[in-house]
Amino acid sequence: MRLLLIEEDPQLCALIGHHVSCRWPEALISAHPPTRSGVIPDEFLAQGYDAVLLAQHWPGGEGLDWLHQLAGRKGFAPVIFLADAEPGSRLQESAMSWGAFAVTGRKRIAHRELIAAIESASLRQRRALADWRVSAQALESHRFGDARIPGYRRARLLARGSTSHLYLAESEKAGALVALKVTPSQRDESGADRSFERFLQEYQISERVQHPDIVRLYELGVADDHAYLAMEYFPLGDLRRRMTPGLSPLEALEIAEQLAEVLAAIHAAGILHRDLKPGNVMMRTAHQVALIDFGLAKQAALELDLTDKGLIFGTPHYMSPEQGHGRVVDERTDLYSLGILLYEMLTARKPYVADNPMTVLYLHANAPLPQLPEPLMELQPVLERLLAKSPGDRFADAAAAAAAIGAARRSWLERISGS
């Protein structure tokens, strides 16, 4: 039994969980607290669940509004509405007319009524899924380009790249929307699938570095000769989007500190990211980041370099002088990129801009260090330790950078709290 519980109150979640587990000891209940987890994306149909339990209300939200929205989606799992009102009330009638599969008590749980409702909902969902799985529509929904990938329902194409396409899909196994990266079948003369090797490397890195601020990877597989990688989907988008309305200095420092900490974790595992940029920093919540795309990441000790010799991969605007000039890089190259990010978060502009990439690389190596505007001058020393031209003048490692950024954040917080 697998249930999605949309309820804000953790104590009620525990109580409902207790009732359910008395009947189904192995039941899996995923809690979705609306104010913290946000709205459920339009593409989500909860097909990996037997039923969805939806609370009548929570601070700032009404379950009936959500019910109208969710139950109206074709193919959405049965919704059991958890009402505070007494049986037979108009609210219960409204819930049923708006598509609830059943209505039962939210706090005053009638055990047998709740269990019976879940059992019936589960039965209906399983029948509906069984019918759907053999439909032409289902077969088509498993198609991602030329590959047919069972267990994933395509929602839409997110991005088309030269080495892979990125889709939004719903995973039955994960019970969530995922970002599904699918490669074109791509083999070299030796028969090796270099795309798959890149995915494999990314997956291995994620497995090795157990840190909460790294993207969660769910599955790596091959279907119809295409490699695919299922990973966490971020409805809030990336840091670029987060920066658009502008970040306060405190927010910028919080994000930079988190990034320095996650860099410390991946460096401790002997890995360099080498492509740190706003597009590779996703927002899990408004204040929590997740680092993605280890496609360019390289184990410091790894002999095999998957990026072709002689070519420079990465984004010029965030590239360290040594990386831009093809010299040997170490973990301090990521600290330089972090410095560029911090500058951009603080000022809403990039420090080095030019018409062509080569000029940008030249500026990284030769232009004077960017200066923060007067109100931010107390942050200049930290920025300069990140953006030093010579790696030897930067912080010794990401942990030291995290400590310095953390100290600057606390100092900034004290100053604005006192003013």
Partner 1 sequence: MSDPRRQLLLELYTRLVLLPSAEQPAAAALCAENAGTSARWQGVLEEPPHESAVRIAHSLGIGPPGLQLWRASWSSEVQGVAPLTRLAMVAARLLAGREELLLLAARCGREPSPIGPGSQVAEGVLVDGNSCARMAVAGLDVETELSAGRGLALLEAAGDLLYGAGQATAAPQFLVIGLNMAVGELGARGSARLLGA
Binding site for partner 1 (CB under 8 A): 9, 11-12, 14-15, 17-29, 107-112
Residue 17 Cβ vs partner 1, minimum distance, rounded to whole Å: 6
Of the candidates 202, 222, 74, 45, which has an alpha carbon nearest to the alpha carbon of residue 150?
A: 222
Q: Which is nearer to partner 1, 25 or 375 (CB)?
A: 25
> Which residue in this structure is represented by tokens 């200095």?
249
Copy the structure tokens of residue 287: 């204040």
Q: Are 202 and 299 in contact (CB under 8 A)?
A: no
Q: Which is nearer to partner 1, 51 or 276 (CB)?
A: 51
Q: Which is nearer to partner 1, 107 or 389 (CB)?
A: 107
Q: Which is nearer to partner 1, 111 or 241 (CB)?
A: 111
Residue 210 Cβ vs partner 1, minimum distance, rounded to whole Å: 20
d(CA 290, CA 259): 8
The SS3 of residue 141 is: helix
Q: Is 275 a catalytic residue?
A: yes
Contacting residues for 333 by C-beta, under 8 A, at least 6 apart: 272, 274, 320, 322, 323, 391
Of the candidates 166, 148, 156, 78, which has an alpha carbon nearest to the alpha carbon of residue 118?
A: 78
Q: Are 146 and 224 in contact (CB under 8 A)?
A: yes
Residue 330 Cβ vs partner 1, minimum distance, rounded to whole Å: 42
Residue 212 Cβ vs partner 1, minimum distance, rounded to whole Å: 22
Residue 62 Cβ vs partner 1, minimum distance, rounded to whole Å: 19
Residue 111 Cβ vs partner 1, minimum distance, rounded to whole Å: 5
Q: Which is nearer to partner 1, 26 or 308 (CB)?
A: 26
Q: Report CA-CA distances (Å) from 167 to 156, 221, 306.
A: 6, 15, 24
Q: Which is nearer to partner 1, 7 or 202 (CB)?
A: 7
Residue 107 Cβ vs partner 1, minimum distance, rounded to whole Å: 4
Q: Which is nearer to partner 1, 29 or 292 (CB)?
A: 29
Q: Which amino acid belongs to residue 394?
A: R
Q: In 335-418, at which residue ranges do the beta strands (DSSP E only) sit? A: none
Residue 105 Cβ vs partner 1, minimum distance, rounded to whole Å: 9
* Active-site pick, 50, 275, 293, 397: 275
Q: Which is nearer to partner 1, 19 or 57 (CB)?
A: 19
- Give strand pairing partners of 55: 82
Compute φ and ψ for 316, nearest 5 degrees: -55, -35
Of the candidates 191, 360, 348, 344, which has an alpha carbon nearest to the alpha carbon of residue 277?
A: 344
Compute φ and ψ for 228, nearest 5 degrees: -140, 150
- Give strand pairing partners of 169: 154, 178
Q: Are 238 and 282 in contact (CB under 8 A)?
A: yes
Q: Are 140 and 214 in contact (CB under 8 A)?
A: no
Helix (H) or strand (E) holding 219: strand 217-223
Q: What strands, in cross-sheet order, belong to the sheet with 176-182?
A: 152-160, 165-171, 176-182, 226-232, 217-223
d(CA 262, CA 282): 13
Which residues are the active-site residues? Answer: 275
